[in-house]
Amino acid sequence: EVHLVESGGGLVKPGGSLRLSCAASGFSFSTYSINWVRQAPGKGLEWVSSISSSSTYIYYSDSVKGRFAISRDDAKNSLSLQMNSLRVEDTAVYYCARDGRGSTGRYFDYWGQGTLVTVSS
Amino acid sequence: QSALTQPASVSGSPGQSITISCTGSSSDVGDYNYVSWYQQHPGKAPKLMIYEVTNRPSGVSDRFSGSKSGNTASLTISGLQAEDEADYYCSSYTSSSTELFGGGTKVTVL
């Protein structure tokens, strides 16, 4: 069974940094693209970033480009999101989500339970 | 890029059919058959309901169906049931290789 478990969320001050992790199991992690999707409290979903197999292709939303960095460790079946220069508007539940397509185009067939990041002074 | 446009809310009685629209542009919905739909119950992670415009994942009821015309995709729920009450989001691949979500639609079963 596919499992994605996020961790690393918490309270951080504006301008601070935080590193999120996503532990994967139940599938061949190295062969799938994985994404981060966030949801601000009471708001809709927002795609944040994706990383392809072998880290060949990496994409970011304009709202986080230059501040966030996605990476993966296939040996440990894990995904990370390094978040720097955090802003109040980055406050959200962050989900990791598997891309079921694996080539041009994407859809998110499995999701973790999410980890809450709160940016506040 | 702005979010895809969805109605804020749609409602229907049990057994009825409802349709949720998702309007984008020629750079996303209109140019790719990579539209997907997600159901989210309060406090839960989203669940994939439709992918690549019309495809249903294994285990998703055939009461859910998807379509697309031009820059607008649609999700139809037939035979509405109480358990269908949730938020629904569309998403589309874009010409920038990014992903764009809709603002979400709250479905209420009357």
A62 touching B, CB under 8 A?
Answer: yes
Q: Could you report the per-residue pLDDT of A39-64, keeping only the tens digit for each?
A: 999 999 999 999 999 999 999 999 99
Using alpha carbons only, how large is chain A's radius of gyration in Å?
A: 13
CB A22 within 8 A of CB A76: no
Local structure of B58: helix, strand or coil: coil
Q: Which two tokens stand for residue B22?
A: 């998702």
Instruction: Give the integer Cα–Cα distance in Å for A108 and A33.
Output: 10
**pLDDT 10s digit of each residue in chain A, 121 long?**
999 999 999 999 999 999 999 999 999 999 999 999 999 999 999 999 999 999 999 999 999 999 999 999 999 999 999 999 999 999 999 999 999 987 777 899 999 999 999 999 9
Q: What is the pLDDT of residue A102?
A: 72
Cite the DSSP H helix spans in chain A: none
CA distance A99 to chain B (A): 11
- Tens digits of residue pLDDT in B62-100: 999 999 999 999 999 999 999 999 999 999 999 999 999
Contact B51/A at CB under 8 A:
yes
Report A:25-44 residues touching B (Cβ under 8 A).
35, 37, 44
Contact assessment for residue A81 and residue A70, using Cβ atoms and an 8 Å cutoff:
yes
